[in-house]
Amino acid sequence: MKTLWLLLGGFALLGAFVVGLALVSGFFYILALPSNQLQVLVSDLPYWVSGQSGSINLTPAGGIPPYHCYVKEGSALPTGFSLSDDCVFSGTAPALAGGSTKRISPPFTVVVNDSAMPPASIEVVYQFTTVSELPTLIPVSSNSCTVGKYCSVQVAKASGGVPPYTFMSDSFSTGAPPAGMIVDVNGYLVGTPKTTGAGSSKSGRYSFGVCVKDSIGSSSCEETSVVIYPGSTTSSTSPSGGGYCSSNSDCKSFALKYCGGSSNVRCGSDRLCHCCLTLRGETCISCPASGCTGGTYCDKGVCVFQKGGKTTD
């Protein structure tokens, strides 16, 4: 038998369910369907710096918009702040008492209603935290490590806030450290870049986020980076038959074999030997005029990869 659904009147929100009346094959039924439950996405307020002005939306979700917010009777917002009907806190953090670095307000309760009939309602308890200043994370991106070798290099430092500081990786939203390495509590990248297996490290620059938290819980995050060099190689085009250069003198045998014996050879920042057509001081000017890229060196007018392949770059 075919079932006929006929909704009579509107639905009403009752707790976590939408309730309505329906006619099904000649019989009346009360329907209770799960609702999109009302919630507030901002459950904790950020720290405010003394004297700082700003605003933040509590961002209600679920239920039936639009939403309405007010401070529950018996609660009080901190001095200098207000809450609008559309759920936005705004104001200026008060000055801290002399010598104080942090102040936490008494808790207060915010009531959030949606536009259902009758409205769904939830209550959220907040506190304002005022600090003297937030710590600033300072990226350190001038260091490098080598695949397969243990490494410990500083990738971040901090100033401001209230020391001592604790460092950590962020949520990897801006990238991840090289496989096999982690950011320690002192702002150093430590570990051995992996050479094999899933997620093994490749040479190149890695960018990733680091956060710092000071002794009173204030925090900030920034992006930093590190260069990972490839491990030793036995490629026939490597200087001295294997490995990488660390100085120009390491490239003598390389120059004899690949640069026509020219003295215009330099150990580049990529730790590879580069043949040069001309020199400007200690700077190697490679061919073509735009320069060789991607770890290649100049050999008789073309750019040559470390492992022997050629490109006309």
pLDDT digits (tens, 9 = 90+) for 78-113: 989 999 999 999 999 988 887 788 889 999 999 999
Q: For the chain, which domains are there?
A: 5-34 (no CATH), 45-131 (2.60.40.10), 135-229 (2.60.40.10), 239-311 (no CATH)
Tell me if 67 sits within 8 A of 87, measured CB to CB.
yes
pLDDT of residue 242: 40
Tell me if 266 sits within 8 A of 276, measured CB to CB.
yes
Residue 185's closest CA among 207, 160, 205, 215?
215
Per-residue pLDDT tens for 294-307? 556 555 444 555 43
The kind and range of the H/E element at 252 are helix 252-258
Tokens of 63: 């239920």
pLDDT (average), residues 22-30: 51
Tell me if 88 sits within 8 A of 67, measured CB to CB.
no
**How large a percentage of the chain has pLDDT more than 90?**
34
Residue 3's closest CA among 21, 19, 20, 27?
27
- Give this prediction's pTM: 0.49
